[in-house]
Amino acid sequence: MVDWTDAEKSTISAVWGKVDINEVGPLALARVLIVYPWTQRYFGSFGDVSTPAAIMGNPKVAAHGKVVCGALDKAVKNMGNILATYKSLSETHANKLFVDPENFRVLADVLTIVVAAKFGASFTPEIQATWQKFMKVVVAAMGSRYF
Amino acid sequence: MSLTAKDKKMVKAFWAKVAGKAEDIGCDALSRMLVVYPQTKTYFSHWKDLSPGSAPVRKHGGTIMGGIGLAVASIDDISAGLLALSELHAFQLRVDPANFKILSHNILVVLAVMFPNEFNPEAHVAMDKFLAAVGRALSEKYR
């Protein structure tokens, strides 16, 4: 389905290896909720998300950020088979959580920005290209069970 | 999604911090766009060198950031401020407006790379809204 060169696979693993899921997950999800406030529609039970400070300090947001990044870890470890790996997650988001798949694109863009901020200039254009290819595949897999 | 007074204040304050590096920002953003979204190279078939940081890329990055600076200065009426640029893009360059979003994303990535502390979530939302407004203003004359 998706062709990964050896260079791409090792780039993704190297980038992901330097990412602390427990740090980046919360940062990325908080940023999504702040930059795209309508995404808060999915998190009514999370408590106070009324200000950026409240969102950044919200423990449920942080916990869920870690869950989301944890799922990305599965994709990194199954790069040859992301579509199958995410089949049931996609179904859950479509049929139980009713999440607009546009949100996967939004999260992918914000995650790219958070990773860029962590890495600085070492997040070169070439690494960004490979990382965004990976994000594109993940987003497509997450959207694959929406009918 | 129009710019609130708070957004405009944030954009002007953030721009004041980063404007000194405008050419670097433009060069890096354009470089990334050409590598990460190779279909955008179709607009630059007349350049000798499309590689990251090349002379034409740097020069054009600076030109683009000049437009961004103009938009900041015209933030109370971006459409009016960018009228000539909109006509340029509509009638001469005819860049598909979808590409404004692509370049905006890469500008945000570069801001994160170069200014990780200043480019906090509040700055991010203001700049994202601002760049979207710039894209809309540039698209105005298309049809």
CA–CA gap between residue B127 and residue A124 (Å, rounded): 22
pLDDT of residue B76: 98
User: Under 8 Å CB-to-CB from B105, ≥6 apart: which residues?
Assistant: A109
d(CA B92, CA B102) in angstroms, rounded, equals: 20
Alpha carbon distance B67, B73 (integer Å): 10
Which residues from chain A sit within 8 angstroms of residue B52, using beta carbons?
124-125
Whole domain around residue A101: which residue ranges?
Answer: 6-143
pLDDT at B1: 80
Residue A78: CATH number of its domain: 1.10.490.10
CA distances from B53 to A52, A122, B31, B61, B99 (A): 36, 15, 6, 9, 20
Residue A97 is classified by DSSP as S
Q: Which of B124, B127, B129, B131 to mutate to test the interface with A (most CBs of A within 10 A)?
A: B124
Compute the mean pLDDT over every residue in chain A, rounded to the nearest whole number: 96
pLDDT, tens digit, 9 for 90 and up, residues A7-43: 999 999 999 999 999 999 999 999 999 999 999 999 9
Q: Is B45 exposed, middle or buried (0-12, 13-18, 19+ CB in 10 A)?
A: exposed
| Domain assignment of residue A34, yes or no | yes
Task: Using pLDDT thresholds of 50, 70 and 90, give the confidence band for residue A1.
Answer: low
CA angle B4, B103, B127 (to 5 degrees): 20
Q: How far apart are CA A13 and CA B55, in angstroms?
A: 33
Q: Do A35 and B109 lie within an 8 Å CB cutoff?
A: no
User: Which ipTM was obtained for this model?
Assistant: 0.88
On whether residue A56 sits in a domain, the answer given is yes
pLDDT (tens digit, 0 to 9) for every residue of chain B, 143 residues total? Answer: 899 999 999 999 999 999 999 999 999 999 999 999 999 999 999 999 999 999 999 999 999 999 999 999 999 999 999 999 999 999 999 999 999 999 999 999 999 999 999 999 999 999 999 999 999 999 999 99
Report chain B residues whose CB lies below 8 A from the CB of A126.
35
Write out pLDDT tens, residues A111-144: 999 999 999 999 999 999 999 999 999 999 999 9
Residue A31 lies inside a defined structural domain of this protein: yes
Flag whether A105 is in a domain: yes
Which of chain A's residues have a Cβ under 8 Å away from the Cβ of B31?
125
User: Is A129 in contact with B125 (Cβ distance < 8 A)?
Assistant: no
pLDDT tens string A43-97:
999 999 999 999 999 999 999 999 999 999 999 999 999 999 999 999 999 999 9
Residue A141: helix, strand or coil by DSSP? helix
Q: Nearest CA to CA, how far is A105 from chain B (Å)?
A: 12
Domain count along chain A: 1
- Residue A104 forms part of a structural domain: yes
**Residue A1, domain member (yes or no):** no
List of residues 6+ apart from B140 with CB closer than 8 A:
B79, B83, B86, B90
Task: Name the residue facing A121 among B35, B113, B125 (closest C-beta).
Answer: B113
Question: Which residues from chain A sit within 8 angstroms of residue B122, using beta carbons?
Answer: 34, 52
> Does the beta-carbon distance from B122 to A121 stay under 8 Å?
no
- Within-domain flag for A106: yes
Q: Is residue A57 part of a domain?
A: yes
Q: Which residue has the tokens 């470089």?
A: B31
B-chain CB neighbours of A125 within 8 Å are 28, 31-32, 34-36, 52
Residues 6+ apart with CB under 8 A from B79: B86, B136, B137, B140
What token pair was written down for A27? 């940062």
The alpha-carbon gap from B30 to the nearest alpha carbon of chain A, in Å, equals: 10
- pTM exceeds 0.90, yes or no: yes
